[in-house]
């Protein structure tokens, strides 16, 4: 089969991104360009993403980002097979900017439009990078989501568990804020934790005694707040203790999901655990999950950190998978603020 070339656009949160990816399922694909403009600085004074600022910034720079993605890839729109774009879930204003741009390009160049679920982008990155075969177990840990899923196909997900309150990345971001660290907090907490004693402060590990694969981080967050309000705490030790608690929670829940995956896919003798989403960029979390995978006979696949956080290469690839299967979408396709990967689970 001839390789497929896709232009992908991502504007669902605070990254304005465009990329050109070429290949065929199951991968790996070639990333011909991957342009990301992070709005971190614009949002930093507010300690989080401000939707109105985000959509305005997307609107101002998306044009130029798309041009750069095409020129970096040394390709013209004519040579692209289809245009993939995040159609949700995410901040609706930003999603609309990307979707409108993609529709314009699609109509202008006469190229098919492929609407992509942002979460599917994260979920399928391991195929773009490592050609991981279906089915695989996915731990999706980002700023907005914390889920365990069986990935059976590019559009076929079975939800094993999700967070009952905060996402893992959100817990990192809130902890960072409490510690007086800038946004986004994950990398900052990780840096601080690397000099800390993880055993210094005992913190709760919610849900550990429960069956199933659901997560909860709010009890840990409350305990962190109380700890940080205590006089004379050592911030590095607090960050390390927090990160150790998150690792224990993620390992415990993922362990349960591994058992369930084995039961659901007994023919898959050498299963793979894929970790995706921004939090997967955390080295200590990666190490913890590598140990868990080893204990349970799973291979571990963690895409490179730059492909774990939001980017458009993952959107182009998820679009490529859909397009290769014959899918495309009408220009009437609307943005979706909510869009679960496993619709049957909601």
Number of residues binding to Zn ion, judged by CB under 5 A: 2
166 touches Zn ion (CB under 5 A): no
Non-local (6+) Cβ contacts of 134 within 8 A are: 26, 151, 152, 153, 156
Closest of 279, 335, 308, 254 to residue 145, by C-alpha: 279
Asked if residue 182 lies in contact with residue 188, where contact means CB atoms within 8 angstroms, the answer is yes
In whole angstroms, the minimum distance from the beta carbon of 248 to Zn ion comes to 24
Binding partner of residue 185 among ligand KG4, Zn ion, none, CB under 5 to 8 Å per kind? ligand KG4
In whole angstroms, the minimum distance from the beta carbon of 277 to ligand KG4 comes to 4
In whole angstroms, the minimum distance from the beta carbon of 275 to ligand KG4 comes to 11
Asked if residue 17 lies in contact with residue 35, where contact means CB atoms within 8 angstroms, the answer is yes
In whole angstroms, the minimum distance from the beta carbon of 279 to ligand KG4 comes to 4
125 touches Zn ion (CB under 5 A): no
Non-local (6+) Cβ contacts of 294 within 8 A are: 300
User: Three-state DSSP class for 187?
Assistant: helix
Q: Is the peptide bond before 89 cis (omega within 30 degrees of 0)?
A: yes
117 touches Zn ion (CB under 5 A): no
Nearer to ligand KG4, 260 or 290 (CB): 290
Question: What residues pair up with 146 in beta bridges, in sequence order?
Answer: 141
Nearer to ligand KG4, 82 or 203 (CB): 203
Binding partner of residue 281 among Zn ion, ligand KG4, none, CB under 5 to 8 Å per kind? ligand KG4
Nearer to Zn ion, 214 or 310 (CB): 310
142 touches Zn ion (CB under 5 A): yes
CA distance 19 to 32: 7
What is the binding site for ligand KG4 (CB under 6 A)?
13, 142-144, 169-170, 172-173, 184-187, 190, 277-279, 281-282, 309-310
Rg of the chain over Cα atoms, rounded to whole angstroms, equals 20
In whole angstroms, the minimum distance from the beta carbon of 172 to ligand KG4 comes to 4
Nearer to ligand KG4, 105 or 273 (CB): 273
For Zn ion, what does the binding mask look like between residues 208 and 247, x meaning CB under 5 A?
----------------------------------------
CA distance 211 to 141: 20
Asked if residue 136 lies in contact with residue 129, where contact means CB atoms within 8 angstroms, the answer is no
Closest of 282, 298, 314, 328 to residue 102, by C-alpha: 328
In whole angstroms, the minimum distance from the beta carbon of 206 to ligand KG4 comes to 18
Q: Rounded to the nearest 5 degrees, what angle is found at the Cα of 95, between the Cα atoms of 86 and 281? A: 60
Nearer to ligand KG4, 112 or 340 (CB): 340
- Chain residues in the site for Zn ion (CB under 5 A): 142, 310
């Amino acid at each position: 089969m001839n390789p497929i070339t896709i232009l992908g656009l991502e504007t669902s949160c605070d990254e304005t991104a465009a990329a050109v990816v070429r290949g065929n399922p199951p991968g790996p694909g070639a990333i011909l360009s991957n342009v990301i403009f992070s709005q971190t600085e614009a949002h930093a004074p507010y300690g989080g993403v401000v939707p109105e600022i985000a959509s305005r910034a997307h609107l101002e720079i998306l044009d130029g980002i798309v041009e750069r993605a095409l020129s970096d890839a040394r390709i013209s729109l004519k040579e692209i097979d289809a245009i993939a774009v995040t159609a949700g879930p995410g901040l609706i204003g930003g999603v609309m900017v990307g979707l409108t741009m993609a529709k314009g390009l699609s109509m202008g160049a006469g190229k098919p439009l492929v609407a992509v679920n942002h979460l599917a982008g994260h979920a399928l990155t391991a195929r773009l990078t490592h050609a991981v075969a279906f089915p695989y177990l996915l731990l999706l840990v980002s700023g907005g989501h914390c889920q365990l899923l069986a990935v059976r196909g590019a559009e076929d997900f079975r939800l094993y568990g999700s967070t009952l309150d905060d996402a893992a990345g959100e817990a990192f971001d809130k902890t960072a804020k409490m510690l007086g660290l800038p946004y986004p907090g994950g990398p900052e907490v990780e840096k601080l934790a690397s000099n800390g004693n993880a055993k210094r402060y005992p913190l709760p590990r919610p849900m550990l005694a429960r069956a199933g694969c659901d997560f909860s981080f709010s009890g840990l967050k409350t305990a962190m707040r109380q700890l940080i309000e205590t006089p004379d705490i050592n911030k590095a030790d607090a960050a390390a203790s927090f990160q150790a608690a998150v690792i224990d929670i993620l390992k415990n829940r993922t362990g349960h999901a591994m058992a369930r995956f084995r039961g659901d896919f007994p023919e898959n003798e050498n299963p793979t655990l894929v970790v995706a989403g921004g939090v997967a960029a955390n080295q200590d979390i990666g190490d913890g999950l590598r140990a868990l995978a080893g204990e349970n006979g799973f291979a571990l696949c963690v895409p490179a950190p730059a492909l774990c956080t939001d980017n458009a290469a993952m959107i182009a690839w998820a679009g490529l998978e859909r397009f290769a299967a014959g899918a495309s979408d009408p220009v009437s396709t609307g943005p979706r603020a909510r869009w679960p990967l496993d619709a049957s689970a909601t």
